[in-house]
Structure 1
Amino acid sequence: MFQRIRRRAKEPTDAQRKFAELHAQLQGQVPPGFGVPAPEPEAAAPVAVVDDFLPPELRVPSHDQVDGRMMPWAQPLVLDGEMAACAECGAYRDWLVLSTRGEIWLRCRAGHQQRETRIDTAWYNRHSGPADATHATFEDGLRHLGY
């Protein structure tokens, strides 16, 4: 009985036979256009060069052209399990977070500024949104944010 099963397995199946017949028919045939050199492309009319940059008034300065960035932070700022507070007036919320030259500074509503070493530029980049405006001076930026 097992010999019959083995003998049947050695014989090709119908699908294998049909594939072998089709392969034999297609052997030696070459697709049309194969081996013929491609025609030369037609010369196109010259295209006018267009400046694809935005106009100067719509361009945003890159990070190396800006002295710093700022964002408001209304809620209390908890760093390493403790709440950040102003060293001079004790304010613990409604901060202005400043990022300049790789340093982070906190500014309270009263105008006191202190360097915050527990925050780095990567933290600032993760938490800040896209810039909505650029300003020529620090005071212009403060006025824009309502400080």
Structure 2
Amino acid sequence: MKRAGRRAEVEENARVFHRIRRRAKGPSEVRKRLAELHAQMQDQVPPGFAVPEPEPGAAAVVDDFLPPELRGPSHDQVEGEMMPWKQPLVLDGEIAVCAVCGAYRDWLILSTRGQIWLRCRAGHQQQETRIDTAWYNRHSGPADATHATFEDCLRHLGH
């Protein structure tokens, strides 16, 4: 039993020494190629590396994405926005009803100066305090048109 263990130990030592002798002959082809590539890349710098940051006061000039004729008006250039709401409007578990005529569907919801107004088909308007501009923004889609007057917008939406 001792001979078998000793023999396995001798064989293992022979393998280790064989590996050491193989390394002593010189680097493998892969190691040579890696050393050549490393030497070639010594003087190269990736693009943008070690480029000084722009000064904080200097603003970069960037062209706008859209040309001026395709830009829509910004929020500060618009008096307000409106969207149609055909179905009954349920707020806090109650259906919104026109205070004058009793209409409960086919609303225009207007958002202007941080306030929300409801306009029924008959043209009656009432401020709705249970809705805020965040609610309006979540439920309104993208604007499909801009109009110079309130009446033009009403005609566009069929009211």
TM-score (structure 1 length as normaliser) = 0.69
Matched, 1:74 2:86: yes
Partner SS, residue 132 of structure 1: coil
* Structure 1 residue corresponding to 2:76, chosen from 64, 67, 77: 64
CA distance in 2, matches of 1:51, 1:84: 43
Partner SS, residue 41 of structure 2: coil
CA distance in 1, matches of 2:108, 2:133: 15
Number of equivalences? 118
Aligned ranges for residues 47-58 of structure 1 at < 5 Å? 53-56=66-69, 58=70
Task: Describe the superposition over 1:30-81 as per-residue Cα deviations: whole angstroms up to 9, x where unpaired.
Answer: 524233367xxxxxxxxxxx8864242x221111211100000010000000
* Residue type at the aligned position of 1:34: M
Partner SS, residue 35 of structure 2: coil
Cα distance, 1:37–1:109 mapped onto 2, change above 3 Å = closer
CA distance in 2, matches of 1:76, 1:61: 31
CA distance in 2, matches of 1:88, 1:145: 22
Aligned ranges for residues 1-147 of structure 1 at < 5 Å? 25=27, 26=31, 29-30=35-36, 31-36=38-43, 53-56=66-69, 58-147=70-159
CA distance in 1, matches of 2:44, 2:85: 68
Structure 1 segments of 4 or more deviating over 4 A? none
* Residue type at the aligned position of 2:40: G
Cα distance, 1:51–1:81 mapped onto 2, change above 3 Å = closer
CA distance in 2, matches of 1:91, 1:146: 17
Task: Describe the superposition over 1:101-127 as per-residue Cα deviations: whole angstroms up to 9, x where unpaired.
Answer: 111100001111000010111111111
Cα distance, 1:29–1:66 mapped onto 2, change above 3 Å = same
Identify which of structures 1 and 2 has the higher relative contact order when contacts are C-alpha pairs closer than 8 Å and 6+ apart: 1
Partner SS, residue 130 of structure 2: coil
Structure of larger gyration radius: 2
Q: Which has the higher helix share?
A: 2
Structure 1 vs Structure 2 CA RMSD: 2.9
Counting aligned pairs with the same residue, the percent is: 69
CA distance in 1, matches of 2:71, 2:35: 60
The answer for the alignment partner of 2:56 in structure 1 is: none
CA distance in 1, matches of 2:68, 2:98: 43
Which 5+ residue runs of structure 1 have no aligned equivalent? 39-49
